[in-house]
Chains A and B, each alone.
Chain A
């Protein structure tokens, strides 16, 4: 495997990691607000805050890892995406800033105010929507380059069915992933009432997720024929994704093995995400950035991969420690510690 392929695979893997753990966080924000608005917050908010408190910062680093890494491996992305994304990415930064800092502020405030809960819930949906713009742009046709000036065609973007279906897909996936995780976490914590509530949400959001996935495929076929056909060639990957979806839903439905159900759903997204990514090969930005042409020099590529391996050796044990202390520690989840 050439080093540019290693690079993009690692980055894609981390982006997938971000999608999962950030979805849990973002969705939880929305559910917390929804529960409060419908006067059910006493049921689930305890669970939500016990899980989220220790990990939000780690979640954020996944995102930082991705964008620092992609600019490192493929410096040309800084030029095209950096120029084109000034406005959407700035909005994403602002939303992330509101969310991250308010989280810390509120944690120490006496009572959770309604304004805060609203912002917390709303940013949970708006952030995935604004970040997903980058995926839309990669399909091509939105970014133009003229006389050395790269610009984004906003009209084209806002009238594009593909853009809107990707936004919708991002939002419903967030809610679906989050609800299925919370189901697992509530069962860990032995909290029956919370479990019933979040399980219902998980079952509910499954349907829109699948519908939006199919809608996005159709919109993609109109925008980028090449990408779409590559995806059809990878039909078995998406078949696997569908299979895991069915398994996950089945387990949620019969109300057993919530941990395995969540793993199945993670795998569902894993295969869909990688199928989508592999089909985009060889472009990072159709037609401007080609993986092989835009990759950094060999010395830097190898140095980055070496740094990555060294970093993982440090990180994996630390992450395991974190998870054992908070996530998989039944006493902690139950609120005893």
Chain B
């Protein structure tokens, strides 16, 4: 590996995005759960849910702050680090980036109103209604930015003549072949991840303390049900993504599956490693399943990596990224399903220690799945930045200062990350749910906590 400006450009982008995506995912998902909790609270006249909404919202302010500052960083960095790419692609894909800003505006305005008006309106539903633009704004901004990323994978909406884009159709570029599946998968992944993280918080609280158990149990139930619903949807959308890849970006799927030769009835290779002769060893082999994953039929032909010119093949280590993501996906479906079964049969205790520990693990794992998924998607696009049109080498800045900037931003993210954790701990440690229930809702009797 050579640490030239291109490599440093890739590293700085990868670093910023890996950091940003944590907060972006939270930013997309948390508003939905706040809104749900407030709604259930009003509907059932249950103060526990109202408090849930309030506490989640309080933590959310801090994640939004980091989401906004890191997002501003990546927004500027796209031009600073990839000036040639933005100059070319901007002609076709500027529209969703521009509209995304309006979604941010919309979201930011209503978030400000929502946070500062808990008790300012007469009707309870008025305040809840304000949460809807926040949920919508966050979701739409994810949709818009995802179309940009889709465009990089399957460029559409123009014709290229002499290195210039002509006949540009901004809408056509947004609705490129990979947009539908990717949008569904990214949104589903965000909601499932946030559900799992909130479930983790509730599970840990139940494992640690014996206070306010009723409050945490309600939180747990609501979030785990959501995890189940969204993890199934995410898996379906992920399957659709694989089918998209098989058709439009076969080299990415082939590299991820270590599928070297085009064949029918292709096996699915799970984990394992490559020996010196590039043979797969130690793997788990599911006969015919790759054909099924790629085309929905065990007999279908799957294009192998051999058909891609040598210089255009993505690195083979993305195999692990893909496998880990999918494993976590199945884990999430399984755990949430198990919990639901246990709660359905009242005789069994769904909140037993073992179950709680599994749920506690699901939040961090889900966030890892998001990271693995993105790394797979982005590295799997190599060497292209705009598949088929522009390579990463051609796109990067030529400024030698990029290395300094890398370390500057590394320091920034370390500081931000540390402060984020410290602040959240301070916020919730010094003010546990039990205390707050006592203080604000003394009318709830003891047994009800």
B56 interface hit (Cβ, 8 Å): no
Return the contact of A93 from the options B65, B73, B105, B398 (Cβ within 8 A). Answer: B73
Which of chain B's residues have a CB closer than 8 A to the CB of A6? none
Inter-chain contact B95/A304, CB cutoff 8 Å = yes
- Complex Cα gap A110–B117 (Å): 22
Inter-chain contact B95/A307, CB cutoff 8 Å = yes
Inter-chain contact B113/A325, CB cutoff 8 Å = yes
- Please report which residues of chain A, range 60-102, place their CB below 8 angstroms from some CB of chain B when the two chains form the complex: 60-61, 63-65, 67-69, 71-73, 75-83, 85-87, 89-90, 92-94, 96-98, 100-102
A1 interface hit (Cβ, 8 Å): no
- Complex Cα gap A249–B180 (Å): 57
Inter-chain contact A61/B86, CB cutoff 8 Å = no
Stretch of B46-54, B226-234, B274-282, B408-416 at the chain-chain interface: B408-416
Task: Given the known inter-chain contacts A57-B111, A299-B169, A303-B171, please indicate yes or no for A72 contacting B94, CB distance below 8 A.
Answer: yes
Inter-chain contact A300/B170, CB cutoff 8 Å = yes
B40 interface hit (Cβ, 8 Å): no
- Complex Cα gap A64–B77 (Å): 12
Inter-chain contact A314/B106, CB cutoff 8 Å = yes
Return the contact of B99 from the options A108, A148, A311 (Cβ within 8 A). Answer: A311
Return the contact of B401 from the options A86, A148, A149 (Cβ within 8 A). Answer: A86
Task: Given the known inter-chain contacts A58-B105, A67-B75, A90-B405, please indicate yes or no for A85 contacting B90, CB distance below 8 A.
Answer: no
- Complex Cα gap A109–B66 (Å): 16
- Complex Cα gap A150–B73 (Å): 21
- Kindly name the residue among A54, A58, A299, A337 whose own CB sees the greatest number of chain B CB atoms within 10 A: A299
Inter-chain contact B97/A72, CB cutoff 8 Å = yes
- Complex Cα gap A150–B79 (Å): 13
A103 interface hit (Cβ, 8 Å): yes
> In the complex, what residue of chain A is closest to B85 when comparing beta carbons?
A78
Inter-chain contact B87/A76, CB cutoff 8 Å = yes
Contact with A along B65-85 (1 / 0, CB 8 A): 110111111011111111110
How many residues does chain A have at the interface if contact means C-beta atoms less than 8 Å apart? 69
B26 interface hit (Cβ, 8 Å): no
Stretch of A168-176, A274-282, A315-323 at the chain-chain interface: A315-323
Interface contacts (Cβ under 8 Å), in number, total 216
Which of chain A's residues have a CB closer than 8 A to the CB of B398? 83, 148-151
Return the contact of A68 from the options B68, B91, B98 (Cβ within 8 A). Answer: B98
Return the contact of A318 from the options B62, B106, B171 (Cβ within 8 A). Answer: B106
Inter-chain contact B412/A94, CB cutoff 8 Å = yes
B273 interface hit (Cβ, 8 Å): no
A330 interface hit (Cβ, 8 Å): no
The smallest C-beta distance from B103 to any residue of chain A, in angstroms, reads 9
Inter-chain contact A96/B90, CB cutoff 8 Å = no
- Please report which residues of chain A, range 188-202, place their CB below 8 angstroms from some CB of chain B when the two chains form the complex: none
B-side residues, CB < 8 A to A, are: 58, 61-62, 64-66, 68-73, 75-84, 86-88, 90-92, 94-95, 97-102, 104-106, 108-113, 115-117, 120, 133, 165-166, 168-171, 397-399, 401-402, 404-405, 408-409, 412, 416, 419-420, 423, 426-427
Known: A67-B76, A71-B90, A86-B399; 11 extra A-B contacts, CB below 8 A, are: A58-B108, A58-B112, A61-B104, A75-B90, A78-B78, A80-B83, A90-B405, A97-B69, A105-B423, A299-B168, A319-B109
A-side residues, CB < 8 A to B, are: 53-55, 57-58, 60-61, 63-65, 67-69, 71-73, 75-83, 85-87, 89-90, 92-94, 96-98, 100-105, 107-110, 148-151, 296-297, 299-300, 303-304, 307-308, 310-311, 314-315, 318-319, 321-322, 325-326, 337
